[in-house]
Amino acid sequence: MPGLTLGDTLPNLEVETTHGKIKLHDYVNNSYTIIFSHPGDFTPVCTTELGMMAAYADKFAQRGVKLLGLSCDDVNSHNEWIKDIEAFNNGHKVTYPIAADPKKNIIKQLNMVDPDDTQSPSRALHIVGPDKKIKLSFLYPASTGRNMDEVVRALDSLLKASKHKIATPANWKPGEPVVIAPSVSNDEAKEMFPQGFDTADLPSKKEYLRFTVV
Among positions 67-126, residues that touch a copy of itself (CB under 8 A) are: 80-81, 83-84, 87-88, 111, 113-116, 122, 124
Taking CB under 8 A as the binding criterion, the range among 10-18, 67-75, 96-104, 203-211 that sits at the site for a copy of itself is 203-211
> Is 206 a binder of a copy of itself (CB under 8 A)?
yes
- Nearer of residues 22 and 63 to a copy of itself, judged by Cβ: 63
- Nearer of residues 33 and 137 to a copy of itself, judged by Cβ: 137
- Is residue 46 annotated as a catalytic residue, yes or no? yes
- Nearer of residues 66 and 108 to a copy of itself, judged by Cβ: 108
Please answer whether residues 71 and 104 qualify as being in contact, where contact means their C-beta atoms are separated by less than 8 angstroms.
Answer: no
Please answer whether residues 110 and 126 qualify as being in contact, where contact means their C-beta atoms are separated by less than 8 angstroms.
Answer: yes
Give least dist CB 32 to a copy of itself, A: 13
> Is 149 a binder of a copy of itself (CB under 8 A)?
yes
Site string for a copy of itself, 16-45 (x = CB under 8 A): ------------------------x-xxxx
Q: How many residues bind a copy of itself (CB under 8 A)?
A: 71
Residues 196, 162, 15, CA angle at the centre, nearest 5°? 165
- Nearer of residues 11 and 14 to a copy of itself, judged by Cβ: 11
Give DSSP secondary structure letters for 14-41.
EEEETTEEEEHHHHHTTS-EEEEE-S-T
Residue 20 neighbours by CB under 8 Å, 6+ apart: none
Give least dist CB 60 to a copy of itself, A: 14
End-to-end CA distance of the chain: 40
Half-sphere exposure of 111 (CA within 13 A, CB side): 19
> Is 157 a binder of a copy of itself (CB under 8 A)?
yes
Order the strands of the 198-199 sheet from edge to edge.
Answer: 178-180, 210-212, 198-199
> Is 3 a binder of a copy of itself (CB under 8 A)?
yes
Half-sphere exposure of 184 (CA within 13 A, CB side): 20
Annotated active-site positions, please?
A: 46
